Amino acid sequence: EEVYHKHLDAEIVINTSPVGMYPKNDAAPIDLRLFHCCEAVLDVVYNPITTKLCYTAKQLGLIHANGLEMLIAQAKYAVEHFLHQKIDDQIIETIYQKLLRDKINIVLIGMPSAGKTTIGRLLAKQMQKPFVDMDERIVAQAGKSIPQIFAEHGERGFRAYETQIAMQLAKQENSVIACGGGIVKYDVNMEMLGQNSIVIYLERDPANLSSNDPTRPLSSSKEAVEKMYRERLPLYLQYSDITVKNAEEPAVVAENCVQQIDAYIAKR
C-alpha cells in the first residue's frame, strides 16, 4: 500500500523478496504496469529464470535482470573470501551462460504444420534436452483425441486443457517444448511458458502449411489457414525471442535454431 501511495514515480524497481520464486511462479510483488516512470527492474529471484515481474518488464520494454548472475557472483566472492584467492571476474559470465543453456527451456511456437514437432525432436537431440509435445500431453490428460475434445467441448474447452499443461510445463527446466499453433491466443500461456524459456517462432511459408488435416480441427481449408496465419502472425512475433524460417532440411533448421539460441544467450 505504501509503494502504491508514495512511489509510483520510481525509475528503478528492485525485488529482494522471495515473491515469485518457484513453485509460486505466478506471483509478483507489485503490478509493474502502474509504475509509469520505471526504466529498469532487478529481481534477485533466480528460479524461475524470468519471474512474472521480469516478464512484465520485458513486455513493457524495460531493462530487466534476474538473480541468477548475482547468485553466481555471490558464490565467486565467497570463494575468494574464504579461500584467500583471486578469481577472474570473467568466470561469472562463463558460468552464467553455461547454467542458462543447461537450465533454459526452448519453446517452439508457430502455425499448425510449421514443423514444430519434427524440428523440436531434432533440436532436443542436439541440445541433449528432453522433448515435450504439448498436444500429446493434452491428449494424455484429457484421455481423448484433439478432434474429440473440439467436438465435445469446443475450442474453449481445448484451450482450457492447453493452459493447464502450459502452467505445468512452466515450472520445469531443460526441455524442448513444441506448442500447439494457438498457444499464443492467451497471454497467460506465454507468460507462464516464457518464465523459464527462450521462445522460437518457427516460421513457414503459408503456402506450405497443411490445409486439410483431420487431426487439426481449425485447419479445414486453405482459406481458413490463411485467415489464421494473418490473425496469429503478430502474436507469434510479439511473444518470440528468436525467429527461424523453416525452409530447408529439418536438420539444417534445427542447427540454425541452436546457433541462434547460443547467440541469444551470449547477449542475454
Same domain, 121 and 202: yes
Is the predicted pLDDT of residue 249 greater than 70, yes or no?
A: yes
Nearest to 76 by CA among 86, 63, 65: 86
Same domain, 162 and 33: no
**This prediction's pTM:** 0.89
Task: Say if residue 216's pLDDT is above 80.
Answer: no
Mean predicted lDDT score pLDDT of the chain: 93
- Interval 101-106 mean pLDDT: 95
Residue 208 has pLDDT above 90, yes or no: no
Same domain flag for 119 and 44:
no
Element (H, E) at 106: strand 105-109
What does the pLDDT look like over 105-163, one tens digit per residue?
999 999 999 999 999 999 999 999 999 999 999 999 999 999 999 999 999 999 999 99
Residues 161 and 194 in one domain: yes
Domain that holds residue 208: 105-267
Q: For residue 117, which of 177, 169, 203 has the smallest C-alpha distance?
A: 177
CB 58 within 8 A of CB 82: no
Is there a single domain that holds both residue 54 and residue 82? no
Regarding whether 235 and 139 lie in a shared domain, the answer is yes
Domain match, 131 and 262 both: yes
CATH number, domain with residue 23 = 3.40.50.720
Q: Do 137 and 201 belong to one domain?
A: yes
Pairing of strands 242-245, 12-15: unpaired
d(Cα 233, Cα 110) in Å, to the nearest integer?
Answer: 8
Number of domains in the chain: 3
One domain for residues 151 and 56? no
Query: For position 215, what pLDDT does the model report?
Result: 62
Q: Which of 44, 79, 99 is the last residue of a domain?
A: 99
What is the per-residue pLDDT for 105?
97
For residues 51 and 74, membership in a common domain is answered with: no
Summarize the confidence of residues 48-60 as an average pLDDT.
Answer: 93
